[in-house]
Amino acid sequence: MHETTLLLIEVGALLLGMSLLGRLALAFGISPIPFYLVLGLAFGEGGFIALDASEEFFQTGAEIGVILLLALLGLEYTASELFGSLKSARTAGLVDAALNALPGAALALLLGWGPVAAVAMAGVTWVSSSGVIAKLLRDLGRLSNRETPAILALLVIEDLAMAFYLPVLSALVVGMSLMQGAVSVAIAVSVVAVILYVALRHGHIVSRLFPADHFEPLLLGVLGLTMLVAGLAAEVSVSAAVGAFLVGIALSGRVAANASQVLTPLRDLFAAIFFVFFGLTTDSSALLSMLPAALALALVTIITKLITGSYAARRAGVGTLGQWRAGLSLAPRGEFSIVIAGLAVGSGVVAPELAPLATGYVLITIVAGTFLARVPDALWFRAAVRRRRAAAGASAVPPAA
């Protein structure tokens, strides 16, 4: 069979399978990401059938998917909102990093994978999935809730921190010397600072480059600029995804709103391909052996995220139920966890078992987090919170003389 013909058959069959699994996810009321990962595992290394003809297509599509995921996330914020979030939630962001990075690093060291793997696993467990959580907040009608700004502030801090974390990890996995690594990180920080400055001071000028009401040139222009900046960012050792995120922040007004509208279908397509591709490149036969470790890690870090989210919401003056909603909403990990694991394992200097561990971990946290986020809305949970509040109030009243 001709190679192009085989490519079309493989891609078409996988896309159709993804559609059916997406419909199944809707029926269960959860994110389709776990289903996409499982589909990739079924046809990847150690799976039922190896899909060789479409591997390069899915690899390129996966890279575009990450870029679009972060670009669309950036379009949700303005530069002023970004800096406002950083200022208001910086303490909670430090607590978030300390509590959630430590379990992943500790597990990597316990498994004997070494310090580089520890740095990678710290990132895997630290960063929540902005895409999954944003979808959860929309689906549950919580975008206007009092705790939502605290959640989004933490997500912004985590996403921006990746601009500095990923160059450090890249320097470690390629074995750069201390001086080379320092130069790489310095360049990355400078590039991020320049883009942030342009976004904050001259974002309106960047937005004027594109016609807000003409969707075809708007789509081509914003997509072209995003991919151009992402490529240039990758060339100077800044994550391409972070470059795309900063482009999204630089756009504002109707240009940002309409660009988000026209790019969303492309984002959905290529983001789904990204998750399938990670499954395709993960050895499914090693996944079962790593599930106990992934389950234990998920349990610990769901609790640490609960503490983090509750702390951030409490500092924002949110009530008890809102604190629970904030903490449980932060449980899912996703796109950045997979990106970090792929970067680390792809270098060849980290134990290959890290990929199936990260895959199992992401699967567990997304599925569990999707259901846990709904718990604070349950009548029994609200009643329990009211009883506890009433008991606390009664105990605070001094006894009558």
What pLDDT score was predicted for residue 30?
A: 72
The reported pLDDT for the residue numbered 117 is 92
Residue 240 CA to residue 63 CA, distance in Å, equals 9
User: Which CATH number does 3-378 carry?
Assistant: 1.20.1530.20
Burial of 373 (0-12, 13-18, 19+ CB in 10 A): buried
Rounded to a whole number, what is the largest CA-CA distance in the chain?
Answer: 93
Total-model pTM: 0.76
pLDDT digits (tens, 9 = 90+) for 100-120: 999 999 999 999 999 999 999
> How far is the CA of 116 from the CAs of 102, 183, 356, in angstroms?
14, 19, 17
Sign for the CA dihedral angle at 337, 338, 341, 342 comes to: negative
Task: Give the model's pLDDT for residue 401.
Answer: 43
- Which residues of the chain carry a pLDDT beneath 50? 400-401
Residue 393 is predicted with a pLDDT of 67
Res 223: pLDDT? 92
Identify the pLDDT of residue 252: 78
Alpha helix stretches (DSSP H) within 174-283:
178-207, 215-235, 240-250, 253-280
pLDDT at 311: 94
Measured distance CA(145)–CA(314) in Å, rounded:
14
68-93 pLDDT per residue, tens: 877 887 787 676 666 666 677 788 99
pLDDT of residue 328: 94
pLDDT at 62: 83
What Cα–Cα distance (Å) separates residue 360 from each residue in 3, 76, 135, 400? 33, 29, 21, 57
CB atoms within 10 A of CB 25: 17
